Amino acid sequence: MPIGKIEAFDIGKHNWDAYCRRIKQFIALNDIDKELQVAALVTHVGETCYELMCDLCAPVLPESKTFDQLTEIVRLHLEPQRSDIAERHVFRQRTQRQGETVSEYLQSLKHLAKTCNFEKITTNPLEVSLRDQFVSGLSSEDMRCRLFAEKDLDYKRAVELALALEAADRHAVVAASGSAATEGEGMHRVAEVRRAARA
């Protein structure tokens, strides 16, 4: 009995590279021999994806290919080669959205960075690019200025500071709304005392 379960690949919903990584983990976990890896793949991808494989491999069947050949054929069809420049443009245009937390914004940046090939840049390029875009794209002008003022600001420190500043802003808003409510209650009590004194 195999360990774990992989759902069928949904062409409109799933990412092919991520799906292949999961299949590879399933194969490793179940110690599936190399000769049976294609069989494991085609039995898990589902009918729609299998038909796509048949079309892409025609006139031969998908089973005639190696695991790596078959996954690459599908990848090239579903995810054509992207332009590094275009991907980096999308990455650099991404800014923090209204109501989006710093953590959510950072996750989105990391997702976009995966297709930018920043690793081709030398000397810790991904962290440098993530830091620059993270700081530049923050929606809070005050937070951005505070981070710009930091000397020797690296990626990790930028994230730590932004999270701390966001938390401080949240606490300040809660504290202000709490004191405003208390102040309002106090004024209401004074008005009641005055009305009672007049009566």
Determine the pLDDT at residue 130: 87
Contact between 166 and 143 (Cβ < 8 Å): yes
Confirm if 106 and 134 have CB atoms less than 8 A apart: yes
Looking at this protein, which amino acid is placed at residue 6?
Answer: I
Please give the structure tokens belonging to residue 82: 């992207």
User: pLDDT tens digits, the chain, 199 residues: what are they?
Assistant: 678 788 999 998 898 999 999 999 999 999 999 999 999 999 999 999 999 999 999 999 999 999 999 999 999 999 877 767 678 878 988 999 999 999 999 999 999 998 888 877 667 778 888 888 888 888 998 998 888 888 778 889 999 999 999 999 899 988 888 765 555 555 555 456 456 555 5
Give the three-class secondary structure for 96. coil
Q: Which helix (H) or strand (E) holds 53?
A: helix 47-57
Q: Are 44 and 8 in contact (CB under 8 A)?
A: yes
- Predicted confidence at residue 193, as pLDDT, reads 46
The SS3 call for residue 95 is coil
Which residues are CB-contacts of 39 (< 8 A; sequence separation ≥ 6)?
A: 63
Domain residue ranges of the chain, discontinuous segments joined by +: 16-78, 84-174
Torsion 115-116-122-128 (CA) sign: negative
